[in-house]
Structure formats: structure tokens, C-alpha cells
Amino acid sequence: MRDSAEKPILLAPAGSPQALKAAVYNGADAVYLGLNKFNARLKAENFTLENLSEWIEFCHLYGVEVCITVNTSLKKEELEEAKKFAEQLAALKADCIIATEPALIEFCAGLKGIRTVASTQLNIHNVMGAQTAKAMGADVAVLSRETILDDIRDINLYADIETECFLHGALCVSLSGQCYLSSFVDGNSGNRGLCAQPCRQLYRSFCQDGEIKKSGYLLSAKDLCGVYTAKRLADAGVSIFKIEGRNRREQYVGEACSVYRKILDSDYECQADDIKRLKTAFNRGDYTSGYLNNADNIIYPLFQGHKGIEAGIIKKVDGSFVIAGNLFLHEGDSFKILRDFKETGNCVAVGNSSNLITKIKYSGKPQEGDRVYLTSSAAMNFRIAHTEKRIQVQAEFSAKVGEEPVLKLTARDASAIVKGKIKAQSALNQPLSNAQIEELLRKTGETEFTISDVVINSDNIFLPKSSINELRREATSALRAELLRNYYQTRNLPAHNDRTEKSYEMPFLNHSGKIICQVKNADEYLRIKQYTDFVVFKPDDYSVESISGFKTACSDFYLDLPNFATQHDLRIIADIIEKCSVTGIVANNLYALRLAKIYSLDVVLGLGLNIFNRESACVLGKNLKVRAYLASQELSLKDIRDNLSDAYIFAGGDITVMTVAHCPIKVNFGNECKKCRYENLMYGDKTGRKFPLKRKRIARCYFEIENCVPLNGTRKIDFPGNFFLKLDGDEREVAHFSLLAQGVDDGYRKNGQYTAGHLSNSVK
């Protein structure tokens, strides 16, 4: 746990070199960035291996850490390439590698000179999940955005791992690492860095009878703002505060860093102007403080984009549209024009305000009375573009006749002393004045340095000016090297795991079983029990009563554990395990692996773990009784047969494309929990596709959003294998795959509205 006297590190996004400089110049302690591969923000400008060393050194000169994201899901051949890539990053002296793949985390833990960070894509949100990440080799856990404050505090007390929490920026509406909506709707996987953000589109909610309940951006989460929660997070032991936004402009990065640097340095004091500055940089939904205490203020259904701050209204003056408001606006300021929260146009100020009236040039169809929002401030953009932080250097120059001159440069805790190559001579005519020497020494040009103080010890000497310029350049270069050397010597690096060759096996795999079927109740089980080798029970209500009721019909089953569980949920789950004597569990999150170890349960590695390669499956299943593991639903049949031949293939049933921790019932009906009006809902998009919402209840409620149509593998899979099915009312499908697993194709092909998912083509 972080020492309470230490400030958390301010970690800033760097989606481009310009954003990186804005972060460094405006107070970031660390930056995180990605390259053009293995990066969850592939749409950002990013960096290359060719220029990475330059930018790492630049940051280190300022004492700023560099974290590199290698945080996408990786196929077998990509994993091997990513390992080599990680070795290159360590050689380039990057400070951290942020990884998602368990096999890559374990590998990076053995690299010298670099820390390993478990990505938020692993959805770490409770003590058991953090302990599992630590056991894999992670030094830092990036906690899921949905983690509640009590769990953050407990993780820092009991998990022996540093924690990183998001403080500001965009929120994904889905549980971290558990979104497949873009993958199945657009073919672009967020887990592979190509999310198309279908959650930001318009949706309509429907009841079972088809009645429309609400329209709007029903899945669009507000941006997170931590100005009022930063102190609570710091008091809970969080080591690193993370600003989201590698896809955003450098002006946003610079302004967010500047504001949060000010807040952290002023004992978490926030002023109204701080909020105004942040909203001008980027404001989606007027902000939320997130999930720390509740999940009631997450969705903003009215408008999904950046709306900045309100600047006034449209008026007509002398036949021309102008902005009339209470803000002084500057030439070059940009605005959105909204009417009933719908964007009707854009405009730009063509001059500064005069008597709070601002002339504009506009596009679209504005009307008098439309509201105008400032979305890009010319003054802010100018300030960020011209903010530059130079390293302050003290110079001491000494020269005596007949001796080589000496220049000593000092910055922070580093010094460099360089002797010239030409001896000083006695001046015959005009000696080199101290003012001339100082002028030459101060010419640091485009380096990172500026000479703040100069001390000159010389008298009546002559030296060529070119020799002093050369001396300054050599001393500057030597000081640069010394600053970097000091940085590397004082880095807080972890102990390293053993790099000996590891054995990746799962000795408890059940090779005789071929079919796993997931059911929702005892009636479904009775219909398919003759066809299945493993029964998985996934209840709507996680309680001892509901599990015991199912156990009266089926004594040998695996309980599907939810992919998210607060400490309050875990108490209920532990009570179920202790009282209901389940055979095993389906693990959909890291915490479940820890539970399996504590209770010595058999384990199926589930879809929630999104297993892309067998090595990661082995890392996840280490020292556990893993009976089966499911291949990611984003992989093709070819991927699975080539690289995960003993994995179970998800062959049919409802596809969960998203799990959300907020309450869609409140979004649609506005009621309180004690007056819950729960009913089955569907969200329909602009194409007419409808996505069912299903509630799962533990200590609190979570909602799974299903794909608009179920998966049907009967028309794509024609070979024997291991199959996982979710019963959707058609036991004939289960019977078909039971025979196919034994090498018999009975010719059954399911008809209706279905999708083959990624069985033919894996995600990009």
C-alpha cells in the first residue's frame, strides 16, 4: 500500500508526441502510450519503435515515467511476437508494460528493469482478483472503473499490489474487458483496439409487449471527473491516478494534467474554475464521479458528444446571427449549437466579444434561442501550445590564462564538468567579457535546458567563441547523460521472477467429456441431461435458496460465477459454495480462480476470461483443478483448431455482448431500488436490431445485454470437438452436438434468425 504521506502519481495519456509533450509540460508524473500494434487504442496516432527511444529519454529527463500498452488479446503467434516486443521495451528502458494477456504478464514479470501492470481489461475489482493478478506476476493492478470504494480500500490493505485507478475521462458503459458489442455488431473488437463505440449510438427501449419506453443515448456513459473523489481514493491507498484519453487532442491532455496537478499540489482543493477548464477541454454529460459509492449517475441519454460549457444563446443582430451570453469569448473559439439537446450547427467566433455579443461564422441551421456551447477555446489552445517546461541549469565557467576552460553544469541532483580543448590566452586587445561569455553559455537552443544562473570566473582572457559554443554543447550532452543515469539508478524496480522455462500444462483436463451445457433452471436440465457431460447452472438470482432448489434436480453441476462481484456479493457466493456443495465453478473473472483454490473446487475457465491462446489458459489454471476451458467467442474455428485444440467451442445460444453495473431500469423508469419496476427490456438500435437485457442479482443487480440474435453453429461446425452450448429452448441442438462430438453428424441444421458469430472469421 502507498505510504499515506506520498502523493499518488498522475498518469496521463499520450496518443501522440504532441500529447506526450503537453502531459510532461503540464505536470504529469508519468505517461502511458502505445505503438501501432498490441494496443487497445489503435485509432490514436501512437508511436513507433523507431522513435520510441527518443521519447522515452525525453520523459526521463524530466523525471517522468513511461508506460507502454501491450494490452490487447493475443493469438498464439501474436503472443510470441509480443514477448519479443516486451524485451525490446525493457532494453529501451521503458518503466512499465501494461498487459492484458495472462501469459504475457507472467513473461514480463521475469524481465529486468521494467514493471508489469495488469490492464483494466482484466476487470480486477476485488481483493481476490488483485491477489490473482499478483500471483501471475503483476506489480500494479489497474482497477476496473466499476470498483467500489470499499473494495479499493481492501485491495490496498490485503492484496500486496499497487493500485491504479481512473480519475478522469471517458467511461466504458460495460464492465472493463467484458464488452463484445462492437465485435458482434461491427466486427471490430474493443479487446483488439478497434472498438467502433456502438454504445454511443441512439437506442430505444422496448417492453415485452413492444411498447417504447424511452429513446436516447441509453448506453452512453458520462465522462468521469475525479476532482471531488481524488482525496478519498488517495486515502484508500491508490498509488496512481490515471487520466483517460489517448484518442483525444493534446489540448485536452495538457489542460487535464494542469488542473489535476494543481488539485494534487493544493491538498485536493478544487475551485469552480477547475471544473470550467476541464469541461471546456472535454465534457460528456456534465460528468459523473463514477461507481465508488453507487451507480446512479452513469448514463447521459440526452447527448453523447463533447458539449463543453454553455456560452450563451443565438440571437439576431442587424440581420446576422450572433452569440449573446455571459462569457467573454475570443476570436477563434469554436462552438456547438444545440436545440432540445440536438446538434443543429456549429460556429466559430470571428472576433472577440464586445458587450458580451460575439459575431460568428456558422454552419447548419441555427435559430434564435438555440443554446451555444463552447467546445474549443482559442485561449486554452494557445496556452497549451505555448507551455514549455525547460530544465533549470546552473552554469559555472572558469578560465585562466594558459589553461583549458572548465564548464560545470548542474540540474536537480546531477552535475557535469567538461574541460575545453583550447587553452585560454591573455587578451592582446579586446578581452572576452563576462557578458559575452554568459550570452554564449545561455544559447541552449532547442535542447530541454535553460540556463537560469551563471557564475563566471575569468579575467582578461581570449578564447574563440566557437570553442565556448563547443564546450557548452559537450557539457549539455554530458549533463543530459548524467540526468538519465541518475534516473535509472533511482528507479524503484521490482524483484524479478524466475526466467527458467515453464511447463504450460493443465493436468486435470477431462478428456472424456465433450459437451458442456449451460441451463437456467431445473426444467432445462431435465431436457438435456442425457446429452451433456458437464452441467453449468447460471441462475438469475444468486442465493442459497435458488441454488439449493436446482441441486434437488441435479446433484453434480458447475455454478457459473458472475464476471463481477463486490465484497458484498462475494459473501453471498461464499455462502452458496459452503452450503450447497457445488461440484465446481465456471470462472469468468480472476477472483473466481482464487475462490476455486480456497475451496478446492473443480474449475471450468469460462467465456468471461476471453481466452485467446492456450498458454494464457495454463497460466490462469496454474495449481487449479481445471477440467475444461472455453475458447474466446471472438476466435474463428480455424484459430481454435490450430492453436487451442483441446478447448471447448461456444457453438450455440445467447451471446452476452455486454455486462453493465448501472441500472437500466432506473435509466428508463427513474424509480428507486425499493420500488423496483423490473421487467424485461430490449434496446433497439437505428437498424431495427433489438438487444435483450437480463438481470442478474447477487447483493446488488447487474444486467447482461444479449446480442440481437443467438449464436448458431450447426451450419458452420461439421467436425468432432468439444462444445459449449447455452440452452435457448432447443434441446435438439444439444443432441446434435452430442453426436457430432463423437464423430457422427446427424444432418441437423438449425433454422431461423441466428448468427454464426466469429466462427468463420475471427475479429480483426
Query: Which DSSP symbol is given to 512?
Result: S
Residue 19 lies in a domain: yes
Q: Which of 352, 386, 420 is the last residue of a domain?
A: 386
**Three-class SS state of 116:** strand
Residue 501 resides in a domain: no
Least confident of 190-194, 366-370, 465-469: 190-194
| pLDDT surpassing 60 at residue 611 | yes
* pLDDT of 1 strictly over 60: no
Q: What is the CATH number of the domain that holds 549?
A: 3.20.20.150
- Going by pLDDT thresholds of 50, 70 and 90, the confidence category of residue 45 is confident
Average pLDDT over residues 652-659: 97
Rounded CA Rg of the chain: 30
Residue 505: band (very low, low, confident or very high) from pLDDT cuts 50, 70, 90: confident
Q: Are residues 534 and 470 in the same domain?
A: no
In which band, very low, low, confident or very high, does the pLDDT at 43 lie, cut at 50, 70 and 90?
A: confident
Judged against a pLDDT cut of 70, whether residue 501 lies above it is answered with: no
Indicate the residue among 324, 355, 386 that finishes a domain.
386
For residue 121, is pLDDT > 80?
A: yes
pLDDT value of residue 36: 86
Order of strands across the sheet that contains 391-398: 414-419, 406-411, 391-398, 449-457
Residue 674 is assigned to a structural domain of this protein? no
Q: Across residues 600-605, what is the average pLDDT? A: 98
Range of weakest confidence among 113-117, 121-125, 208-212, 660-664: 208-212
268 has a pLDDT exceeding 90? yes
Whether 747 maps to a domain, the answer reads: no
Is residue 535 within a helix (H) or strand (E), and if so which, with residue range? Answer: strand 534-537
Clarify whether residues 273 and 150 are in a common domain: yes
pLDDT value of residue 394: 98
Model confidence pLDDT, tens digit, residues 694-708:
999 999 999 999 999
Same domain, 53 and 164: yes
For residue 105, give its domain range: 9-171+221-281
Specify whether 239 is located in the same domain as 320.
no
Domain endpoint, select from 440, 456, 490: 490
Would you say residue 711 has pLDDT above 70? Answer: yes
pLDDT at 497: 63
141 inside domain: yes
End-to-end CA distance of the chain: 39
- pLDDT > 90 fraction of the chain, expressed in percent and rounded: 88
CATH classification of the domain holding 248: 3.20.20.60
**Residue 4: per-residue pLDDT:** 57
Backbone angles phi, psi at 12, to 5 degrees: -115, 150
Q: Are residues 337 and 414 in the same domain?
A: no
Same domain membership, residue 327 and residue 475: no
One domain for residues 23 and 119: yes
Nearest-angstrom CA–CA distance, 423 and 367: 77
Kindly report, residue by residue over 299-313, the tens digit of the pLDDT. 999 999 999 999 999
In-domain check, residue 343: yes
* β partners of residue 695: 703
Residues 259 and 340 in one domain: no
Q: What confidence tier does 5 reach under pLDDT thresholds 50, 70, 90? A: low
Task: Give a yes or no: residue 540 inside a domain.
Answer: yes
As for how many domains the chain has, the answer is 4
Judgement on whether residues 43 and 159 belong to the same structural domain of the protein? yes
Residue 581 pLDDT exceeds 60 = yes
| Per-residue pLDDT band at 730 (split at 50, 70, 90) | confident
What pLDDT is stored for residue 670 in this prediction? 81
Please indicate whether residue 130 or residue 497 has the higher confidence score (pLDDT): 130
- Give the pLDDT mean for 155-175: 97
For the stretch 391-435, pLDDT in tens is 999 999 999 999 999 999 999 999 999 999 999 999 888 889 999
CATH of the domain at 371: 2.40.10
* Averaged confidence pLDDT in the chain: 94
Do 162 and 19 lie in one domain? The reply is yes
Instruction: Tell me, yes or no, whether 272 lies in a domain.
Output: yes
Mark whether 91 and 233 lie in a shared domain. Answer: yes
pLDDT of residue 3 exceeding 90, the answer is no
Examine the pLDDT at 675 and tell me if it is beyond 80.
no
Cell of 612: 485467446
Residue type, 689: R
Pair 588, 718 in one domain: yes
Percent of the chain with pLDDT over 70: 98
Dump the DSSP string for 295-362. Answer: SSS-B--S--S---EEEEEEEEETTEEEEESSS---TT-EEEEEETTEEEEEEEESS--BTTEEEEEE
Strands (E), 103-192: 115-118, 140-142, 162-169
The pLDDT score that the predictor gives to residue 429 is 82
* Residue labelled with grid coordinates 462492437: 182
